[in-house]
């Protein structure tokens, strides 16, 4: 019997997840149906319940429902608990809902795919929202020399750093606290979607540093357009999207797909 999966979002029509998971299923000979569902802003829990009642077995969850997905779960993974957000839902054999967060693992695997050194690196993470919270534990587990989190509201960055201080050297503050250069600068804000730039100094990149924007589009994001002339090597979040999806697929189907061909297909679909 064909098992049903989906991605929930609002809006969700632009999502590449159906394409990604169709490719994963074809590649691994899995018989699944994967769709995009635009859940009502005021009734995500109801949308999930109706999906499960209709035979749904699991889902990806995107903006703006990751915290609501967290709240409805009966059981949560360690990394979901750390992140305070869920992007992967699974219906267990007992009908209970299990929640996980694969975003941070997706980032780390994308960095590894591009041979970006994280161990012993000085890393700057811009932003202190849910997206950043989801990536900090997997990032710190890779043993960087230090991680600095900066945000327009300094208190949010400070609180985030305090929450993860047991995992490695991590500091938080406002943009005015920045000093020195970094080997990897990750834009974890959604500023690129509105064409805005975080107020970073021109000398923020060390020699041969990487600039990573968690957003992606058919053209380089504003952040990457700014970083390139300042000597940084550039990566966007398309690979992270594919890698976090592969981790979700593995959780659902217990088979790990190859991500390289799906990366290539997705990049071509953007006409990048």
The Cβ of residue 54 has, within 10 Å, a number of other Cβ atoms equal to 8
Mark whether 119 is an active-site residue. Answer: no
Nearest CA among 85, 176, 172, 190 for reference residue 123 = 172
Instruction: Tell me which residue has tokens 């429902």.
Output: 65
For 83, other C-beta atoms within 10 Å of its C-beta total 29
Q: Give the total residue count for the chain.
A: 272
195 Cβ partners below 8 Å, 6+ apart?
A: 222
Query: What distance in Å separates the CA atoms of residue 80 and residue 73, rounded to the nearest whole number?
Result: 10
Set 66, 119, 207, 268: catalytic member = 66
Partnered with residue 38 across adjacent β-strands are 9
Q: Which two tokens stand for residue 263?
A: 């990366």
SS3 140: helix
> Under 8 Å CB-to-CB from 163, ≥6 apart: which residues?
133
In the block, residue with structure tokens 């398309």 = 238
Minimal CA–CA distance to 103: which of 233, 194, 239? 239
Question: What are the b/e assignments for 99-122, b being 16+ CB within 10 Å?
Answer: bbbbbbbbbbbbbebeebebeebb
Measured between its terminal Cα atoms, the distance across the chain in Å is 38
| 165: DSSP letter | G
Q: Which residue has the tokens 């189907």?
A: 253
Catalytic residues: 66
């Amino acid at each position: 019997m064909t098992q049903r999966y989906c991605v929930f979002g609002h809006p969700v029509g632009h999502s590449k997840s159906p394409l990604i998971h169709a490719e994963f299923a074809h590649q691994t000979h899995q018989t699944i149906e994967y769709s995009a569902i635009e859940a009502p802003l005021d009734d995500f829990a109801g949308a999930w319940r109706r999906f499960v009642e209709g035979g749904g077995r699991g889902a990806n969850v995107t903006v703006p429902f990751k915290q609501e997905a967290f709240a409805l779960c009966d059981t949560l993974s360690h990394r979901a608990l750390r992140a305070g957000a869920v992007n992967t839902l699974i219906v267990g054999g007992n009908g209970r809902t299990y929640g996980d967060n694969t975003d941070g693992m997706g980032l780390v695997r994308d960095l590894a795919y591009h041979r970006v050194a994280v161990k012993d690196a000085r890393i700057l993470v811009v932003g202190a929202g849910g997206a950043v919270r989801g990536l900090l534990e997997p990032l710190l587990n890779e043993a960087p020399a230090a991680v600095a989190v900066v945000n327009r509201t300094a208190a949010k960055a400070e609180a985030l750093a305090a929450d993860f201080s047991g995992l490695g050297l991590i500091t938080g503050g406002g943009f005015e606290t920045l000093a020195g250069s970094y080997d990897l600068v990750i834009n974890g804000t959604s500023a690129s979607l509105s064409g805005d730039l975080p107020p970073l100094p021109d000398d923020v990149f060390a020699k041969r540093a990487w600039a990573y924007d968690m957003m992606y589009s058919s053209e380089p994001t504003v952040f990457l357009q700014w970083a390139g002339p300042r000597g940084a090597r550039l990566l966007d979040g398309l690979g992270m999207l594919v890698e976090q999806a592969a981790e979700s697929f593995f959780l659902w189907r217990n088979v790990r797909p190859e991500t390289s061909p799906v990366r290539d297909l997705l990049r071509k679909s953007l006409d990048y």
